[in-house]
Amino acid sequence: MVLGVVMRTKGLRWPFPANLAEKITGHVIRAVTRRGKYLLIEFAHGTMIIHLGMSGHLHILPLSTPVKKHDHFDLLLEDRLMRLNDPRRFGAVLWHERGTTEEHALLGKLGVEPLEPEFSGRFLYEKTRNRKAAIKQVLLSGGLVVGVGNIYASESLFQAGIHPATPANRIGIARYEKLAQAIRRVLTTAIEQGGSTLRDFSGPDGRPGYFQNTRFVYDRAGRPCRVCGNSVQQIRQGQRTTFFCPNCQK
Ligand SMILES: [Zn+2]
């Protein structure tokens, strides 16, 4: 039986369900199943879904376990607790009432992880046929692919030779294959070099600390492109700065 929940933040990728504690406190867990990175905790009246994102971990711990940094969410059980620790906050905790269409549609709606097998050029191509938004913003939105932040998006688009303002539905399959490869390469390099994915956010000086020496365009406005020597440019897209080479990216 669930005795309560503890939320130490308002949410991760999305806000935690506002009334989750009321929904599940006092209710018995019927089953716990896993689908990919989704953990489904089933109750008679609905399902709580936990997604681990790129850096989330679940631990089953004694009730008295001290809280550490990034411990965002606890599910309190009778003699222990289940704790979600997620430094990068790409994880999610969601609730779906039994029998709603949302319950079934949810898994299909979430973006895939770029290092998982279903992420491919074809996947990007098929999911963007009706999307006129700029590819950079589609990548950042999280609905298509999870965990591609601003640095990764700029770098991946450079490596794929795609201009960041290109409408997503104008990009063909061959270029999406290149982009999928570039995203995987950039993320893999970042993980190898960074050790900790936390360094993606910022160094001590508040500037991005991630793979600074190997970045092609990110944070290099006005400096020569490492490939063609032209000046790297910066533009605003949404609330974010995008860096690109107008010569290498079309
Ligand atoms: Zn260039």
pLDDT tens across 234-244, in order?
A: 999 988 999 99
In angstroms, the CA 34 to CA 133 distance is: 33
pLDDT per residue over 158-217, tens digit each?
999 999 999 999 999 999 999 999 998 887 777 666 533 333 333 333 344 445 557 899
- Residue 208, number of CB atoms within 10 A of its CB: 18
**From the CA of 211, how far away is ligand 1's center (Å)?**
19
16, two tokens: 């935690």
In angstroms, the CA 209 to CA 224 distance is: 20
pLDDT over 90 at 123, yes or no = yes
**From the CA of 202, how far away is ligand 1's center (Å)?**
26
**From the CA of 244, how far away is ligand 1's center (Å)?**
8
In angstroms, the CA 172 to CA 164 distance is: 14
What does the pLDDT read at residue 4?
94
What does the pLDDT read at residue 106?
57
**From the CA of 185, how far away is ligand 1's center (Å)?**
19
pTM score, whole prediction: 0.59
How many residues are given for the chain? 250
Q: What proportions of the chain, in percent to the nearest 5, are helix, strand and coil?
A: 30, 25, 45
**From the CA of 243, how far away is ligand 1's center (Å)?**
11
**From the CA of 248, how far away is ligand 1's center (Å)?**
4
